[in-house]
Amino acid sequence: MSHTLGIRQAQKQKTRQAFLDAALALLEEQSLSSLGLREVTRAVGVAPTAFYRHFRSTADLGVALVDEALGSLHPMVRTTVSTTGDPEERITRAVELIARHVTEYPAHVRFIARERHGGVQPVREAIRAQLHRFAEEVRAELAKDEEAEGWSEDDLLMLAHLYVDQMLITASLFLEALEAPEDERERVTRLATRQLRLITLGRSHWLD
Amino acid sequence: MSHTLGIRQAQKQKTRQAFLDAALALLEEQSLSSLGLREVTRAVGVAPTAFYRHFRSTADLGVALVDEALGSLHPMVRTTVSTTGDPEERITRAVELIARHVTEYPAHVRFIARERHGGVQPVREAIRAQLHRFAEEVRAELAKDEEAEGWSEDDLLMLAHLYVDQMLITASLFLEALEAPEDERERVTRLATRQLRLITLGRSHWLD
DNA sequence: AATTCCAGAGAACAGTTGTTAACTGGATGA
DNA sequence: TCATCCAGTTAACAACTGTTCTCTGGAATT
């Protein structure tokens, strides 16, 4: 099924990826709404006009970055939530997974945290849509758990959003602690673990 | 004690406030890192160079905006948390208070949500510091409650941060629902209420 | 082998930006 | 009353921005 791309298409995709990489790097120290088209092309090493062969505008590039940063994350979220084992172990694994992801893709995480409430509407929309997908997937996984018996769909979605938001908050904290000494990251781990523990505790008494 | 300002100082403060107001309005559709100095002076109706009489840079203006947006909010947070009455009533009042604040100062709320993870370091720092103050104040209020018996200081701060973050998430949701029909805001109210309820439930079983 | 296609280059456009220096004129304080 | 101060002005600077049109050379198609 995998159709080998021609030299032409392959080169185009390569350049496109170079745009995404360069933009992501530049966005570590500014917001998308201040990212200039020429700034990006300069970083890639191509003429300004080449930009238009790939994107309509920087907002368009931003939407593509959202897909790159969040699109491939869905399997990970699903498996994390559905992991079997006692709750405490699940929480530990979830926090570890977030920490590792932040370490591996700090620029992606920073971009999402920054542009979630950023100044570019189509990008905000794209992030909102992806996060909603996450919440729906988490809800679906939660529904499978025996603890979900007696829960309404609406309440499950409410809890799912709580988990998703908590995931983002934690990721952002790890991001801030990235260059800090080891014990700061340890502190964040402990904080996030206890917060998840408290939420899970509330969950298990929801039907009282 | 209140020293009447001279005509000169008064006029200066008036212009300064005009800068803050104009910037806040412009920031509804962009981020601080893309806000131009000339753009602001144009909106105020003053020469570009006048800007330097009040601020070193737009980042400096941003820090001033953080103080305006969050500085006056501390009493409200304190009294909200310390309100007596049964937990359910407290939650309702808290959510209502957030909703009202968002309706009254939407630009302030948008600014904080946007720049909390934005591209301007000094502003991020200023917001982080203010939110930490909030968390400390909430912790102090929680400590007075009889439910806090047996809690460690660290765990109380953990819970306080959870409440503060939840407050911001809720505010942001109300902001998105500002121009939406009434039933959307009602939906957000119900969601936020149940999330707070679940957290409070976890809180009451923390020591089990 | 001849033709079409198209990613990227090049040049030019009118506007924009932050920052400097030297100024003006009304409020301030002696 | 007179000298000082200082919020805001004017003018000019080099550097930058997004977007247009035209062109080119190698890949793709016939």
B76-127 pLDDT, tens per residue?
899 888 878 899 999 999 999 999 999 999 999 999 999 999 999 999 999 9
Model pLDDT for residues B44-66, shown as the tens digit of each residue: 999 999 999 999 999 999 999 99
Nearest-CB residue to A198 (from B117, B169, B206): B206
Q: Tell whether B110 lies on the interface with A, counting CB pairs under 8 A.
A: yes
Q: Is B118's CB within 8 Å of A113's CB?
A: no
pLDDT of B83 = 78
Sign of the dihedral defined by the CA atoms of residues B48, B51, B57, B59, in that order: negative
Looking at residues B133-142, what average pLDDT do you find? 97
Are B119 and A31 in contact (CB < 8 Å)? yes
Distance from residue B82's CA to nucleotide C12's C1', rounded to whole Å: 66
Cβ-Cβ pairs closer than 8 A, A with B, add up to 96
Residues of A in contact with B194 (CB under 8 A): 155, 158
Chain B residue nearest residue A205, CA to CA = B201
Determine, for residues A195 and B158 on separate chains, whether the beta-carbon distance falls below 8 Å: yes
A161 in contact with B at a CB cutoff of 8 Å?
yes
* A155/chain B closest Cα distance in angstroms: 8
Low pLDDT (below 70) residues in chain A: 1-3
Nearest alpha carbon to residue A29 among B170, B63, B32, B130: B32
> Which A residues 5-64 have CB within 7 Å of strand D?
6-9, 36-39, 42, 48-49, 51-52, 57-58
* Chain A residues inside the 8 Å CB shell of B204: 205
Check CB contact of A71 with chain B, cutoff 8 Å: no
Report the distance from CA of residue A49 to the C1' of nucleotide D19 in Å, as an integer: 9
Nucleotide whose C1' lies closest to the alpha carbon of residue B46: D8
Region B122-143 average pLDDT = 98
Query: Among residues 179-208 of chain A, which lie with CB inside 8 Å of chain B?
Result: 191, 194-195, 198-206, 208
DSSP class of residue B152 equals -
B18 contacts B43 by C-beta, under 8 angstroms? no
What is the C-alpha separation between B48 and B68, in angstroms, rounded? Answer: 23
Handedness of CA B44, B48, B49, B51 (dihedral sign): positive
**Residue A112 CB contacts under 8 Å (≥ 6 apart), including other chains:** A66, A69, A70, A127, A168
Which chain B residues contact residue A113 at CB under 8 A? 117
> Angle at CA B196, nearest 5°, toward A95 and B167?
80
- Domains of chain B (ranges, CATH numbers): 7-56 (1.10.10.60), 68-204 (1.10.357.10)
Is the CB of B48 within 7 Å of strand D? yes
DSSP A113: H
Q: Which of residues 116-155 of A touch B (CB under 8 A)?
A: 116-119, 155
Residue B1: the pLDDT is 43
Mean pLDDT for B150-174 is 98
Residue A71: both structure tokens together: 């699109």
Tell me if A158 and B191 make a contact (CB, 8 A cut-off): yes
Q: Which residue is nearest to nucleotide C26 (CA to C1')?
A: B8
Dist CA B29 CA B107 (whole Å)? 10
Q: Do B199 and A201 touch (CB under 8 A)?
A: no
pLDDT score recorded for residue B3: 64
Nucleotides of C under 7 A from a protein CB: 6-12, 16-22, 27-29
Contacts of B118 in chain A (CB under 8 A): 31, 114, 118
Cα angle at A138 between A113 and B156, to 5 degrees? 65
pLDDT of B5 strictly over 90? no
How high is the pLDDT of residue B84? 80
User: Nearest CA to A208 among B205, B164, B91, B57?
Assistant: B205
What per-residue confidence (pLDDT) applies to B94?
96
Size (chain A), residues: 208
How far apart are the C-alpha atoms of A65 and A186, rounded to whole Å? 30
Burial of A117 (0-12, 13-18, 19+ CB in 10 A): buried
B172 interfacial to chain A (CB closer than 8 Å): yes
